[in-house]
Amino acid sequence: MAEDQFYAMNEGDVQFANDLHSFLKARAEGLVDGGLLAFIHGVDPNGNKDTSKITLLSFELLGSCLVDLAKKGPFDISQVDSFNLPKYFPFHDELKALVERNQDFSLERMEILDNPPKRLTNPDPKSFATFMRVLIEGLLQNHFGSEIMDELFKRHGEKVEESGLLSDPNENSLMALVLLKCKRMTI
């Protein structure tokens, strides 16, 4: 099992690097020389690829909600099995190195955003489920259809509340703000 996890993480590393390269290449095509690109990306706060337990557990709970709905019949369980939601959180330095390696942009600034621990923000389960809905609803709709979204995220909020997922007052996740400047090659 641990060996499988090792290979999965390595594949995730490679896939993330490829996806980030493609993303930056596409963005560069739409910018003029000196144009700015800003984005926010989650980063692993612990340096051990064991990212925020809130993030990991919330996706597990969402998966269990999908299984529950499949048992009720709006879609087949095989659709749940075939759904793949990529979730990869690079180390801060890893994200920085990948961005710096890109030929189309220069790194102007990269900072960890001041994301206060939950003891200061205290999200409620319904708000958290709404946040998750905003984050991934489009991916879910493409695979499962839009008809189940209200029920899915209602259940997700309930499971988040039952799980106590949001109860660790010191748990926080990290987001990095990345600001890039497009550098066009002139011929």
* SS3 readout for the chain: CHHHHHHHHHHHHHHHHHHHHHHHHHHHHCCCCCCEEEEEEEEECCCCCCCCHHHHHHHHHHHHHHHHHHHHCCCCHHHHHHCCCCCCCCEHHHHHHHHHHCCCEEEEEEEECCCCCHHHHCCCHHHHHHHHHHHHHHHHHHHHCCCCHHHHHHHHHHHHHHHCHHHCCCCCCEEEEEEEEECCCCC
Q: What is the pLDDT of residue 3?
A: 36
Structure tokens at 83: 């759904």
**Of the candidate ranges 3-12, 37-46, 55-64, 113-122, the one whose mean pLDDT is the lowest:** 3-12
**pLDDT tens for residues 32-69?**
999 999 998 888 765 555 445 666 788 889 999 999 99
Q: What is the pLDDT of residue 6?
A: 34
CB atoms inside a 10 Å sphere around CB 124: 12
Residue 185 has pLDDT above 70, yes or no: no
* Within-domain flag for 86: yes
Mean pLDDT, residues 90-111: 91
Query: Whole-number mean pLDDT of the chain?
Result: 81
* Within-domain flag for 187: no
- Please give the residue range of the domain that contains residue 120: 2-182
* Within-domain flag for 42: yes
Domain tally, the chain: 1
Residue 103 has pLDDT above 50, yes or no: yes
* Within-domain flag for 114: yes
Q: What is the pLDDT of residue 171?
A: 60
* Within-domain flag for 57: yes
Q: What is the pLDDT of residue 54?
A: 64
* Gap between the Cα atoms of 103 and 182, Å rounded: 9
Mean pLDDT, residues 129-145: 90
Question: pTM for the complete prediction?
Answer: 0.64
**Of the candidate ranges 3-7, 107-111, 133-137, 139-143, the one whose mean pLDDT is the lowest:** 3-7
Mean pLDDT, residues 15-36: 92
* Within-domain flag for 131: yes
* Gap between the Cα atoms of 171 and 183, Å rounded: 39
* Within-domain flag for 27: yes
Report the candidate in 101, 95, 123, 106 with the shortest Cα–Cα distance to residue 185. 106
Using pLDDT thresholds of 50, 70 and 90, give the confidence band for residue 5: very low
| Residues paired with 107 in a beta bridge | 180
Q: What is the pLDDT of residue 11?
A: 62
